[in-house]
Amino acid sequence: MALMLAVQLDKRRVYVRDVRRPKRPEGYALIRLLVGGICNTDLELQRGYYGFSGIPGHEFVGEVVEADHANLLGRRVVGEINLACRQCEWCQRGLGRHCPKRTVLGIVRYPGAFRELLTLPEVNLHVVPNSISNEEAVFVEPLAATCEILDQATIPEGAGIAVLGDGKLGLLIAQVLTARCMNVHLYGRHPNKLKIAARAGVETFLATKRLPSSAYDWVVEAAGSPHGLSQAIRMVRPRGSVFMKSTIHGTPSLDTARVIVNEIALIGSRCGRFEPALNLLRARSIKVLDMISDSFPLSQAPRAFQRAAERGILKVVLNAG
């Protein structure tokens, strides 16, 4: 029996173990993991979000080792994380990301990418151009989630937009919106993280006690804390929009009266299309390598998870090369 290494998350504990190699169903590719990225969602899963138990991981770049389509063989790929039914109304509308029957790689009823070999439907895969390194490609999934904002609303060029949070997602969002010629103000608590955005041309602000009130028509909440949304609601102007990006475990309480009186729109925003993300990386419009704080071999995933949860740490990647 062929065994391989996989990361396991059980009852909030992360460990590695040997599991059987997955069988490749028809229409699926078998993919050898090259690099995986630990996302805040993985850390939230560890805190009990979704009551998750299994193999985590949804940010990855890998090499196709078996596939129906021969032109995929040997290619480096990234993969969309929603496995949709491809039959329902959502799938027909090209919104398999909302298919009610979907499973989600490493999040909902589908074993994740943090294992030596994984399977995904070939339709989920995107070939990575040679000019994009493995360490860059691992950012395609969170970058796609960032670009989703641009698919959800028409934000005018030059618009003032506040991004709350200088974590991984906040830094990506600030960079992408700046690349799209918006006037971004990034608010964060970590001078070293803000520096990364500043180097990319983003105007940054150390978030002190008092953030500006009713100051922006557009606010992106990526603080990753229960208070982030309340802050965003205070910062947005009447009739403005707040994009909600932080999936956190729990049910934060909200000043709904302010939302109503000021007629604010709160817009949930999740996964996005991979194409714009690959285009941004290919065009070198944004820099992601600065955001890698540390790197571990797959076998040291428990240490990597621990490291990723430390204060001040950005992206931690797992190498399975």
Where along the sequence are the contacts to a copy of itself (CB under 8 A)?
49, 90, 95, 98, 100, 148, 152, 214, 229, 238-239, 244-249, 251-270
CA 162/CA 24 separation, integer angstroms: 45
Burial of 138 (0-12, 13-18, 19+ CB in 10 A): buried
Residue 71 or 251: the one with the smaller Cβ distance to a copy of itself is: 251
Residue 100 or 312: the one with the smaller Cβ distance to a copy of itself is: 100
Q: Nearest approach, Cβ of 252 to a copy of itself (angstroms)?
A: 6
Q: Nearest approach, Cβ of 229 to a copy of itself (angstroms)?
A: 6
CA 307/CA 317 separation, integer angstroms: 10
Residue 42 or 116: the one with the smaller Cβ distance to a copy of itself is: 42
Q: Nearest approach, Cβ of 48 to a copy of itself (angstroms)?
A: 12
How is residue 105 written in tokens? 């790689």
Determine phi and psi for 187, rounding to 5 degrees. Answer: -105, 125
Q: Nearest approach, Cβ of 243 to a copy of itself (angstroms)?
A: 9
Where is 37: in which H helix or E strand? strand 28-38
DSSP string, 87-112: SSHHHHTT-GGG-TT-EEETTBEE--
Residue 175 or 246: the one with the smaller Cβ distance to a copy of itself is: 246
CA 57/CA 74 separation, integer angstroms: 22
Q: Nearest approach, Cβ of 248 to a copy of itself (angstroms)?
A: 7
Residue 134 or 152: the one with the smaller Cβ distance to a copy of itself is: 152
Q: Nearest approach, Cβ of 96 to a copy of itself (angstroms)?
A: 11
Residue 76 or 97: the one with the smaller Cβ distance to a copy of itself is: 97
User: Of 289, 306, 57, 304, which Cα lies nearest the Cα of 196?
Assistant: 289
Where is 303: in which H helix or E strand? helix 301-308
Q: Nearest approach, Cβ of 183 to a copy of itself (angstroms)?
A: 17
How is residue 175 written in tokens? 């960079």
Give me the sign of the Cα torsion angle 256, 259, 265, 267: negative
Q: Nearest approach, Cβ of 216 to a copy of itself (angstroms)?
A: 14
Check if the beta carbon of residue 59 is closer than 8 Å to that of residue 138: yes
Phi-psi region of 170 (alpha: psi -120 to 50; beta: other; left: phi over 0): alpha
CA 301/CA 307 separation, integer angstroms: 10
Give me the sign of the Cα torsion angle 132, 134, 136, 140: positive
The residue length of the chain stands at: 321
CA 184/CA 73 separation, integer angstroms: 41
Residue 129 or 252: the one with the smaller Cβ distance to a copy of itself is: 252
Q: Nearest approach, Cβ of 51 to a copy of itself (angstroms)?
A: 12
